[in-house]
Structure 1
Amino acid sequence: MTDQAKLHKQLLDAMTAGGSLRTAPWKRAAEAVPRHEFLRGGFFRRVEGSVPAAWTPVLEGDPGWLEACYQDESLTTQIAGTIVPADIRGQIMREPTSSSTLPSLVLRMLEDLRVEPKSRVLEIGTGTGYSTALLCNRLNEEQVTSVEYDLDVVARARTALARQDMFPVIVTGDGLLGYAHSAPYDRIIATCGVRTVPTTWIEQTKPGGLILATVGGWLGSSELARLTVHDDGTASGPLLGGQISFMLARPHTAPPIGLLPDLYQGNERETAIGADLLTDWTTRFVIQLAAPNAQRLTLERDGHTEDVLIDVKSGSWAAVYQQDGRWIVRQDGPDSLWDAVEGQLGRWHAAGTPALEEFTVTVTPEGQTIHW
């Protein structure tokens, strides 16, 4: 057995033991698709301890390249929208824009998609093509359509898939629009995060079909949702849990905050809800429901740390800090942002703080709601 085969088997065994790889058809697909073939362009490794994050390239043949390909971890493959590992010597300090998702999450989502032998699948976000290849192996390539926003990413994925003798329909475009030409689909799966599930996905899915997507917001908390499409053109379904996080689809990313408001203005009062709750994933998800357009900043001011939420649409803001053991909030703008947060958390606590798996996502032509 080659080193690559040993590493591949170890990864499969770990995913099986961890419960992400559960059924025989997906086990056969995972065995047949070598991940390293989709990472021949290399990846970026984060420089340990770097603040802000710095990244250094790891290219095919470099020490540790093959071993990393078969680790159960996400690997960054593009920086700043255009930069790939071969472009860099040394380090780069920019934001990642594309990655190869950790294999256990890829397989967990494919299992959760509940495909059937004749399912037609639309994948939103081709990425390296690894998950596309798994779908092609599990189904037939004629049943798989994949949409990717980035032309260069598409070119690399097509090349990697062709090496595996796989030729599904791959389209360059805005995945939020789906791909009507190949519709209707039995399943849609998104490997990017969204703030709201697009109605176009529902329109392109057969009644009874499933949409699997990660729903989140600008406070950085997101969860996997599985929606069933109904005859009336709506869709609904539960959050599946697991603290799943993907890069947001580029049209859904947060806009620049711009010039900060005068944080010395506003009305100040004591609050029972402290900024420490913003560190909790579930609580942050609940807060996002009350402040869906808010972004968070942490500032050092006047000898203390302030956590600031700014609603980028209305201009409302709230600054929360601790003083003499008490939490203080100062807020201003057309909406009382922290009042909305307190109200939402109050209702959630009154309901017994239900887990995110008890939440339901509903999408209609009028918009999206999430409730417990």
Structure 2
Amino acid sequence: MTTDDTASLRRDLAARMADIGSLTDPAWRAAVEAVPRDVFLGTDVYRPAGPLWEPVRRHGVGEKEWLGLAHADTTWVTQVDGTDAADASDPVAGRPTSSSTLPSLVVRMLEVAGVKEGDKVLEVGTGTGYSTAILCHRLGAANVTSIEYDPGLGRSAAEHLSTVGFSPTLVTGDGLQGYYEGGDYDAVVATCAVRHIPPSWLWQVRDGGTITGALGGWMTGSGLIRLSLGGDGAASGRFTGDEVSFMLARPHERPPRPMLIRRVGDVRACRVDPGLFQDWTGRFVAQLAAPSAEFVTKGDDVVLVDVATGSQAWTEPEGAGKGWTVHQSGPLRLWDRVEEALATWQAAGSPAQTAFGMTVTDEVQTVWLEAPDGPGWQLPT
């Protein structure tokens, strides 16, 4: 089976995306049906194998199965801790550093961004180039600029795009700085998460333009938002409520820290249930309150470590049905901050993430609850 024979696979992919509601615009559907995703995956990807990542070879699974995998609505990891799947001879440990995002999320973001014909778009995070090709199909390559942090990924994306006949402006560099030569953009769309909105994006978007991306952090909380830039230079918008998760932009990844050794510290009863960390919005709220803290463990037990100061907070059950105890040490009382934010959210009725919004200026970035003058949390910049 050749690339020319994947038309039915592409149509099936578009139909599945439409069925789940992520693809509603006929123009984006035409793009999905036209762009062969297998070209952008190349010949090697990773799949999870317990705690490791196992390389999957195109020649190993066979052409028919590979094309089916390529046109599934699935995220395929292509790089782990900087090692491309093609360069891995055995399963590897580490964190994904690049992937081909599931197509339904690619298109969902473009629909949230409101991108339309004639728009000039800056894409932050070229990756394999698949989402870039989707943009080029609708807007024309002349209206698409895409920036990739990793030079190797940038080169392979350029080859993929050339193969399918697209030649957008491709830049290798720090996407958080944007690309001034291409401004003013109608929209910035980021395929990586950020801890705060880079000021350069504000400066490079025209008045009335939009910035769409995921606000993430070291607790793995995340929220998809579309910001609109006003004439006063401030951008604002509400979170969509989509439960999406992107890799953090590499400059926003947490710095290395020593191995965790729990310290007893001060001990008291918890006033909120640590189980709130398992709620999508609850984790997001906790992260707003302690943005420099990393969430170390999963499950019912919560362990937080502040990357900047080494402060810790960790919870443990007092016994069946007896509540929870928290241990805190270091200059920051992490649990106090998290607890106050979660209590504020609960007092408002524990609303979904759509109740939150964000305002960004050159000086300060604030995530607020219900309204800009409601409870709010400033982001680190």
Same-fold status (TM-score > 0.5): yes
Aligned to 2:314: 319
d(CA) in 2 for partners of 1:328, 1:197: 36
**Structure 1 stretches (4+) deviating beyond 6 angstroms?**
none
Instruction: Call closer, same or farther: CA 1:335–1:225 in 2, change over 3 Å.
Output: same
Aligned to 1:355: 352
- Other structure's SS at 1:127 match: coil
For the pair 1:366 / 2:363, whether they are aligned, the reply is yes
- Identity over aligned pairs, percent: 45
Could you tell me whether the CA contact under 8 Å between 2:328 and 2:335 is conserved in 1?
yes
Aligned length: 363
d(CA) in 2 for partners of 1:125, 1:228: 20
d(CA) in 2 for partners of 1:109, 1:60: 33
Could you tell me whether the CA contact under 8 Å between 1:275 and 1:321 is conserved in 2?
no
Aligned to 2:75: 74
- Unaligned ranges ≥5, structure 1: none
Aligned to 1:282: 281
Instruction: Call closer, same or farther: CA 1:299–1:152 in 2, change over 3 Å.
Output: closer
- Other structure's SS at 1:258 match: coil
Q: How far has the Cα of 1:307 moved from its partner?
A: 2.7
- Unaligned ranges ≥5, structure 2: 370-381
CA RMSD across the alignment: 1.9
Q: How far has the Cα of 1:61 moved from its partner?
A: 6.5
Could you tell me whether the CA contact under 8 Å between 2:358 and 2:368 is conserved in 1?
yes
- Give 2:47's match in structure 1, choosing from 45, 48, 62: 45
d(CA) in 2 for partners of 1:202, 1:193: 16
Q: How far has the Cα of 1:335 moved from its partner?
A: 2.5
Q: How far has the Cα of 1:338 moved from its partner?
A: 1.1
User: Cα deviations across residues 123-169 of structure 1 (Å, max 9, x unaligned)?
Assistant: 00001111101111101111100000000001110001001111100
Instruction: Call closer, same or farther: CA 1:60–1:188 in 2, change over 3 Å.
Output: farther
d(CA) in 1 for partners of 2:353, 2:142: 36
d(CA) in 2 for partners of 1:17, 1:261: 48
Instruction: Call closer, same or farther: CA 1:261–1:5 in 2, change over 3 Å.
Output: same
- Give 1:36's match in structure 2, choosing from 35, 38, 51: 38
d(CA) in 1 for partners of 2:298, 2:243: 26
Instruction: Call closer, same or farther: CA 1:184–1:60 in 2, change over 3 Å.
Output: farther
Alignment-mate amino acid for residue 24 of structure 1: P
d(CA) in 2 for partners of 1:181, 1:243: 34
Could you tell me whether the CA contact under 8 Å between 2:46 and 2:53 is conserved in 1?
no
Alignment-mate amino acid for residue 365 of structure 2: Q
Q: How far has the Cα of 1:273 moved from its partner?
A: 1.9
d(CA) in 2 for partners of 1:298, 1:158: 39
Q: How far has the Cα of 1:71 moved from its partner?
A: 0.7
d(CA) in 2 for partners of 1:116, 1:15: 19
Could you tell me whether the CA contact under 8 Å between 1:309 and 1:319 is conserved in 2?
yes
Q: How far has the Cα of 1:261 moved from its partner?
A: 6.0
TM-score (norm 2): 0.91
